[in-house]
A and B are shown apart, each in its own frame.
Chain A
Amino acid sequence: ETGVTQTPRHLVMGMTNKKSLKCEQHLGHNAMYWYKQSAKKPLELMFVYSLEERVENNSVPSRFSPECPNSSHLFLHLHTLQPEDSALYLCASSQGIGAGRNQPQHFGDGTRLSIL
C-alpha cells in the first residue's frame, strides 16, 4: 500500500471514446504527477501539479486533459486517443515545493490503457 490509489487498473477504449483516469493520494502531499510508461521507452513526465496549479506540461497532446480539483485528487481526461497512446499511466505524489530537498515521489500501481 503506497498511499496512492489509481482507478481503473485496466481500461480498454475505442479511439472515439471519452474516459477519465483517477488518482487519489492519502499522504497529505501537495504535488501530484502524471507519467506515461511505454514499452522500451523511458518514463515520460506528462504533467505536474503543485497546490492544485499546473506547473508543468511537457508538450502533451491536447487529447490528454488533466484536472486537479484539490491536493488529494488528480484526473486525466482522455478523448479521441490514438493507438500509440496505449501504455501504463502512472500517478505519483510528493510533499511538494517548499518541503525541502530530497522528498521522494510515491507512485500508484498505474492504469493499463489499451486503445483499439
Chain B
Amino acid sequence: GDSVTQMEGPVTLSEEAFLTINCTYTATGYPSLFWYVQYPGEGLQLLLKATKADDKGSNKGFEATYRKETTSFHLEKGSVQVSDSAVYFCALSDGSTDKLIFGTGTRLQVFP
C-alpha cells in the first residue's frame, strides 16, 4: 500500500540555519503531496502542497518540490527562526479521495 517515510528527529538547529527535512513516498498512482506543521498544543496546519511532478509548493519561506524520479518531497527553508520549532508531517493523498497517509513526523527545535 501507499506509505510515507520521514527522517527521524529531532532536528536541532541554530536560528538562521538552513533546514532540510527528508520525505520519500511509495504510491501506486499519482498522489498529491503535502507538508503539515503542528505547533505545541495545536492541531495540524497545512503548510504547503504539490499536486504533480515538478510542482514546487511554498509558504512562509518553506519550499518542497515534487520529485517523481526520486519519489521525494523534501522540505527546505533557507533561514529558520525560533518560531519554526514544531513537528512537521509529510503526507500524501491518492487523488481519488481526500484521505491522507502521514509520515511519523519530524520534530524541529530551533535555538537562538
Binding site for B on A (CB under 8 A): 2, 4, 6, 31, 41-43, 45, 48, 56, 90, 92, 94-97, 99, 101-110
A92 to nearest B CB, angstroms? 8
Q: Contacts A31-B98, A42-B104 known; A2 to B49 CB distance under 8 Å?
A: no
Q: Contacts A42-B104, A107-B44, A108-B43 known; A102 to B49 CB distance under 8 Å?
A: yes
Q: Are B99 and A48 in contact (CB under 8 A)?
A: yes
A22 to nearest B CB, angstroms? 14
A11 to nearest B CB, angstroms? 15
B41 to nearest A CB, angstroms? 7
The 7 listed contacts between A and B (C-beta, < 8 Å) are A41-B104, A43-B102, A48-B99, A90-B43, A96-B98, A97-B98, A99-B98
How many B residues face the partner with a CB closer than 8 A? 23
Give the chain B neighbours of A56 by CB distance below 8 A: 99
Q: Contacts A105-B98, A109-B42 known; A42 to B49 CB distance under 8 Å?
A: no
A44 to nearest B CB, angstroms? 9
Q: Are B51 and A101 in contact (CB under 8 A)?
A: yes
Chain B contacts with A in 71-89, Cβ cutoff 8 A = 89
Contact partner, A104, options B49, B96, B103, Cβ 8 Å: B49
Contact partner, B32, options A90, A102, A108, Cβ 8 Å: A102
Contact partner, B103, options A6, A42, A106, Cβ 8 Å: A42
B97 at the interface (CB under 8 A from A): yes
Contact partner, A102, options B89, B93, B102, Cβ 8 Å: B93
Contact partner, B45, options A2, A43, A101, A103, Cβ 8 Å: A2
B53 at the interface (CB under 8 A from A): no
Give the chain A neighbours of B99 by CB distance below 8 A: 45, 48, 56
Nearest neighbor of B101 in chain A, beta-carbon distance: A45
Q: Are B44 and A101 in contact (CB under 8 A)?
A: no
Give the chain A neighbours of B104 by CB distance below 8 A: 41-42
What's the Cα separation between A31 and B99 when bound, in Å?
A: 10
